[in-house]
Amino acid sequence: MENAVEVLEQRNEELRSEMAQIKEQMAKVLEFLAWGPPQAQNTADYPPGYTPSPAWNAQEERPASKENKLNGPGLALGVGSQRQNGPTVVTPAHNQREDPEGNERLRIVEGVDRYELDATDLCLVPDVFLPTDFKTLDFDKYKGSSCPKAHLAMYGRKMTAYVQDDKVLVHCFQDSLSGVALSWYVNLERGCIRTWKDLAEAFLK
């Protein structure tokens, strides 16, 4: 009986401690709410370092009612000191064609590297669209020494969710290969493989 009373007293003490913690947390929440929502900072319309194209969609992008708050109504940032109403277009100080480093970066971003290879030319099948929830599967790697039919069967079972999408099947097949088999896949001609059936037949040869 005394043991039961001690257990109840211990549980009562634990509940009091939990209630004190909850009250503390509620006080912090109420204090945070008393401050109100965070005030919006004066942020730029564009990320740092980004310069929009000159006069690109100027009327829709910066309507007259949304004037520069730092300079006040009627004032606009730009080259010169003319007072204007509406948006001011600021052109870059130097011609972009004269910036070879910038052109090089642009080519890299667009998918062309310094060897003049277009990334889209490296894909076996063009225009592969992977679903947003797609996760690369773990495959037993085929190295060229085991049965290719067994490997195709294993691959087909793992990719059952995508059996209707030949492009995904062909594109992901490289993830199940290694060594000589992967070299074979990489050296396939882009035009000769159009469907999963084409790839499977070429793989079995």
Q: Domain tally for the chain? A: 2
pLDDT of residue 14: 93
pLDDT of residue 35: 77
**Last residue within a domain, chosen from 123, 139, 159:** 123
Q: Which domain holds residue 191?
A: 148-204
Q: Does residue 36 register a pLDDT over 80?
A: no
Q: pLDDT-derived band of residue 54, with 50, 70 and 90 as boundaries?
A: low
Of 127 and 62, more confident? 127
Kindly state the tokens that stand for 184.
Answer: 């074979």
Tell whether the torsion through CA atoms of 7, 9, 11 and 13 is positive or negative.
Answer: negative
Q: What is the mean pLDDT of the chain?
A: 75
**Which residues make Cβ contacts (< 8 Å) with residue 18, sequence separation at least 6?**
none
Q: What is the pLDDT of residues 13-25, one digit of tens each?
A: 999 999 999 999 9
SS (H, E, C) 155-205: HHHHCHHHCCCHHHHHHHHHHHECCHHHHHHHCCCHHHCCCHHHHHHHHHC
Distance CA 172, CA 199 (A): 12
pLDDT of residue 203: 92
Q: What is the pLDDT of residues 71-125, one digit of tens each?
A: 444 444 444 444 555 555 555 555 555 667 777 766 666 655 555 666 666 778 7
Shared-domain flag, residues 154 and 190? yes
In a domain, 152, yes or no: yes
CA-based nearest residue to 99, from 48, 56, 57, 51: 51
In a domain, 168, yes or no: yes
**Last residue within a domain, chosen from 123, 138, 166:** 123
pLDDT of residue 37: 65
Tell me the average pLDDT across 38-60: 61
CA-based nearest residue to 173, from 200, 194, 147: 200
Q: Does residue 58 register a pLDDT over 60?
A: no
Shared-domain flag, residues 155 and 196? yes
Q: Does residue 55 register a pLDDT over 70?
A: no
Shared-domain flag, residues 115 and 152? no
In a domain, 182, yes or no: yes
Q: Does residue 67 register a pLDDT over 50?
A: no
Q: Give the count of beta carbons closer than 10 Å to the beta carbon of residue 39.
A: 7
In a domain, 45, yes or no: no
CA-based nearest residue to 137, from 180, 166, 165, 169: 169
Distance CA 23, CA 131 (A): 46
**Last residue within a domain, chosen from 81, 106, 123:** 123
In a domain, 192, yes or no: yes
Shared-domain flag, residues 118 and 152? no
Q: Give the count of beta carbons closer than 10 Å to the beta carbon of residue 177.
A: 21
In a domain, 174, yes or no: yes
Q: What is the pLDDT of residues 116-174, one digit of tens each?
A: 666 666 778 777 888 888 888 888 899 888 999 999 999 999 999 888 988 889 989 99
pLDDT of residue 157: 92
Distance CA 83, CA 95 (A): 26
In a domain, 198, yes or no: yes
In a domain, 9, yes or no: no
